[in-house]
Amino acid sequence: MTASAATEGGNAMVPPSHHELTAVFPFLSASEAEELLPCLTMRTVAADEVLMRAGDPADFMAFLLAGRLAVKKETSFPGKYILVAVIESGGMIGELAAVEKGARSTTVVAMEACRLLVLSSDAMARLLVEKNTVGVALLKRIIHVQGHRLRRASERLSWIL
């Protein structure tokens, strides 16, 4: 898998390595990953930078190449958050934006400098029409990840209740 350097703000960015792509897209063949790459843009996020904020439009999802992200939910006490999850390298975030537009339900903050591949909602819609095999594979992965997260949340709730 190869990828040309994408730019953000006019600055050339280091393209994802073969190892990073394999870690993020283990559910795709090499040729499928090559089809997906032109739909993605590179983004870097500094430590403590907010990637997504609750209430903002959900118009992209991202695949974490390097770094760690904290997913936080505001409590009933303004300005106080609970940690919902920590997303490690290889994970995805904001995946509901790929299937429905709406508002973000959580805030995502970089715990350290992060490198991401971003897929906009519009690019996902084009992917499903133009490269539907890859789009369907991505949707299956989103369902798999959501199912896993729902099972974990249910297990945590069962201990609380």
pLDDT single digits (tens) 39-61: 999 999 999 999 999 999 999 99
Instruction: Give a yes or no: residue 2 inside a domain.
Output: no
| Domain of 44, in residue numbers | 7-160
Instruction: Give a yes or no: residue 1 inside a domain.
Output: no
Bridge partners, 69 (sequence order): 87, 110
pLDDT for 17: 81
How many structural domains comprise the chain?
1
For the chain, report the end-to-end CA distance as a whole number of angstroms.
Answer: 47
pTM of the predicted protein model: 0.84
With H, G, I as helix, E, B as strand and everything else as coil, classify residue 93: strand
Task: Name the band, by pLDDT with cuts 50, 70 and 90, for residue 12.
Answer: low
How many whole angstroms separate alpha carbon 42 and alpha carbon 19?
16
Amino acid at 138: L
pLDDT single digits (tens) 83-128: 999 999 999 999 988 888 889 999 999 999 999 999 999 999 999 9
Going by C-alpha positions, the residue among 111, 22, 10 that lies closest to residue 2 is 22
Q: Is the pLDDT of residue 143 over 80?
A: yes
Instruction: Give a yes or no: residue 51 inside a domain.
Output: yes
pLDDT single digits (tens) 61-92: 999 999 999 999 988 898 888 999 999 999 99
The pairs formed by 128-134 with CB atoms below 8 angstroms and a separation of 24 or more are 131/35, 131/36, 133/32, 134/28, 134/32, 134/35, 134/36
Q: Is the pLDDT of residue 153 over 80?
A: no
CATH of the domain at 152: 2.60.120.10
